[in-house]
């Protein structure tokens, strides 16, 4: 039984990525900036990984800058905007966007009752605020709600405003071949089977302003420091593997889980339930008991779940999405997030539902929840 249901926090290294990392580390560990033949080969391999990533996401390779992950990409983007710039960001962005944007003039885009940004709202706010940049994530990390980023990208193009999407949770889970329509794209390898500490930022084609880590001339002078080619190779390989499996993903297993849960916990609120969502994610408000009680008792039974987003875990009432939807502080304490992965089976989902029922009985009896 595989009880890991926290893939939106991080994923295990995919076997194809592990193999790619080992191969790259053994054969092409040389510094791509050095001048001898082996270094030249490493440099060629790196550029070929960039080309492959570009073709997966529908963006020209020269637009891609490799980074240490989504947090760096988001920070880099906002750091390069003028201090006085007005930026529109959605109310449900990840902390790495919210906090990075804070040093600029931020106007929040509200979400509707399904936790989704409406394109018309963006249009109205662009007319009212004249922003330098609009940032709306592709898929939300907590609820899994898909945001209409393609439509918003088109509106921004029409209005001559730059558009950024944080696609950390979309990549590897859904077709990413149109992401290149956005001016800026953020990605993080460990969300789709790559290693931690590796990601990318896509920039507009003619963008001369970014040079966000100073030092050597790597990444076209935009991000100095020796490139982590093995991690980059593993990331691109993982995304290729995930992309080739996209036709096999199904939300049925998740929906069956919710039906089983509802049979036991009648008033179960699933956030963004009527919106299109990632096939792997359920964010729900449990009918009773604090989320940490659920989490620890499920953990003792071998299941890993989350109380919202890992980046704000440990903080009571930390769900950005449920807060944006106007939940009461009491409800916020009952939020749990389940997120499956490519290796999760129907049996794993059933075992998780059974464990929830067991824990509920245990909590209602006032038990301490021993295994």
What are the residues binding ligand PMP (CB under 6 A)? 69-71, 94, 96, 137, 141, 166, 168-169, 188, 190, 199, 309-311
C-beta of 167 vs 353, nearer to ligand PMP: 167
Please report how close the Cβ of residue 212 comes to ligand PMP at its closest, in angstroms.
15
Say if residues 188 and 97 touch (Cβ distance below 8 Å): no
Which residues, listed in sequence order, are joined to residue 107 by a DSSP beta bridge? Answer: 88
User: Residues with catalytic annotation?
Assistant: 311
Say if residues 136 and 122 touch (Cβ distance below 8 Å): yes
Tokens found for residue 301: 């039974």
C-beta of 278 vs 353, nearer to ligand PMP: 278
Which residues, listed in sequence order, are joined to residue 186 by a DSSP beta bridge? Answer: 166, 201
Please report how close the Cβ of residue 135 comes to ligand PMP at its closest, in angstroms.
11
Which residues, in sequence order, are CB contacts of 187 under 8 Å at separation 6+? Answer: 57, 70, 73, 167, 168, 171, 199, 200, 201, 202
Among 368, 200, 230, 202, residue whose Cα is nearest residue 293: 368
HEC assignment per residue over 300-328: HCCCECECCCHHHCCCCCCCHHHHHCCCC
Phi, psi of 281 (to 5 degrees): -115, 135
C-beta of 145 vs 363, nearer to ligand PMP: 145
Please report how close the Cβ of residue 160 comes to ligand PMP at its closest, in angstroms.
26
What is the C-alpha separation between 249 and 260, in angstroms, rounded? 20
C-beta of 8 vs 43, nearer to ligand PMP: 8
Please report how close the Cβ of residue 103 comes to ligand PMP at its closest, in angstroms.
18
Crossing angle between the packed helical segments 119-129 and 149-159, to the nearest 10 degrees: 30
Which residues, in sequence order, are CB contacts of 68 under 8 Å at separation 6+? Answer: 197, 198, 199
Please report how close the Cβ of residue 198 comes to ligand PMP at its closest, in angstroms.
9
Say if residues 367 and 352 touch (Cβ distance below 8 Å): no
Tokens found for residue 31: 């510094």
Please report how close the Cβ of residue 299 comes to ligand PMP at its closest, in angstroms.
19
Say if residues 46 and 20 touch (Cβ distance below 8 Å): no
* Burial group, residue 248, by CB count within 10 angstroms (0-12, 13-18, 19+): exposed
C-beta of 6 vs 360, nearer to ligand PMP: 6
Angle among Cα 233, 310, 178 to the nearest 5 degrees reads 45
User: In terms of DSSP H, where are the helices of the chain?
Assistant: 15-27, 37-57, 70-79, 95-101, 119-129, 149-159, 229-244, 252-264, 291-300, 320-324, 329-332, 346-364
């Amino acid at each position: 039984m595989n009880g890991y249901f926290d893939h939106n926090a991080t994923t295990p290294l995919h076997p194809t990525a592990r193999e790619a990392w080992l191969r790259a580390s053994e054969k092409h560990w040389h510094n791509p900036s050095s001048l001898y033949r082996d270094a030249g080969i490493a440099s060629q391999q790196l550029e070929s990984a960039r080309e492959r990533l570009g073709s997966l996401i529908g963006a020209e390779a020269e637009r891609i800058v490799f980074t240490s992950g989504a947090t760096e990409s988001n920070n880099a983007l906002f750091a390069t905007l003028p201090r006085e710039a007005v930026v529109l960001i959605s109310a449900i962005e990840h902390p790495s966007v919210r906090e990075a944007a804070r040093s600029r003039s931020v106007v929040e885009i509200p979400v509707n009752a399904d936790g989704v940004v409406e394109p018309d709202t963006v249009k109205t706010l662009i007319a009212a605020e004249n922003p330098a940049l609009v940032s709306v994530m592709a898929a939300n990390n907590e609820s899994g709600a898909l945001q209409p980023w393609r439509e918003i990208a088109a509106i921004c193009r029409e209005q001559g405003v730059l558009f950024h999407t944080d696609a950390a949770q979309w990549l590897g889970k859904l077709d990413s071949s149109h992401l290149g329509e956005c001016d800026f794209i953020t990605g993080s390898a460990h969300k789709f089977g790559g290693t931690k500490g590796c990601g990318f930022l896509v920039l507009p084609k003619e963008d001369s302003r970014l040079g966000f880590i100073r030092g050597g001339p790597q990444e076209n002078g935009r991000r100095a420091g020796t490139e982590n080619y093995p991690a980059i190779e593993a990331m691109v390989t993982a995304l290729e593997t995930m992309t080739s499996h996209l036709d096999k993903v199904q939300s049925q297993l998740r929906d069956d889980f919710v039906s089983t849960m509802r049979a036991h916990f009648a008033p179960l609120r699933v956030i963004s339930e009527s919106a299109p969502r990632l096939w792997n994610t359920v964010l729900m408000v449990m009918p009773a008991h604090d989320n940490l009680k659920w989490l620890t008792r499920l953990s003792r039974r071998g299941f890993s779940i989350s109380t919202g987003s890992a980046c704000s875990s440990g903080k009571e009432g930390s769900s950005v999405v449920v807060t944006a939807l106007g939940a009461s502080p009491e409800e916020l304490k009952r939020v749990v997030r389940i997120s499956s992965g490519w290796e999760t089976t129907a049996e794993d989902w059933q075992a998780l539902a059974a464990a929830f029922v067991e824990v509920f009985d245990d909590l209602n009896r006032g038990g301490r929840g021993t295994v």
